[in-house]
Amino acid sequence: MDKGERNIELEASDLPQPYKKYADTIGMENFIKLSELIGGRNIYLPSPDSLLISSNRKKIVSEYRAGTSVKELADKYKISSDSIYRYIKRYKDIR
């Protein structure tokens, strides 16, 4: 039987902690899909702040490419000009 055809009838209350908490958060159907996708393996999930940092860095570079000065960006995002230059170098392909 294909994984996609598997009929798993579980409720979050059937699961041990911390899995019950995860299933309660994302829903049992999504928890089962996640289990089918990565079950048995350890994964690292970045924090929401980490996800935003990468997104903000790319946004800064896009604004720079669109004509905003490094000084304006440093003031706007409350970071150093050196950081802005590092992002510009790191994200060369951003337009």
Mean pLDDT by 10 residues, the chain (95 residues): 59 87 92 92 90 90 96 95 94 77
Segment holding 24, helix H or strand E: helix 19-26
pLDDT at residue 37, as a whole number: 94
Amino acid identity, residue 13? Answer: S
Query: What is the rounded distance in angstroms from the CA atom of residue 42 to the CA atom of residue 82?
Result: 36
Site of tokens 């041990």: 16
pLDDT at residue 6, as a whole number: 60
Query: What is the rounded distance in angstroms from the CA atom of residue 20 to the CA atom of residue 33?
Result: 15
In this prediction the pTM is 0.55
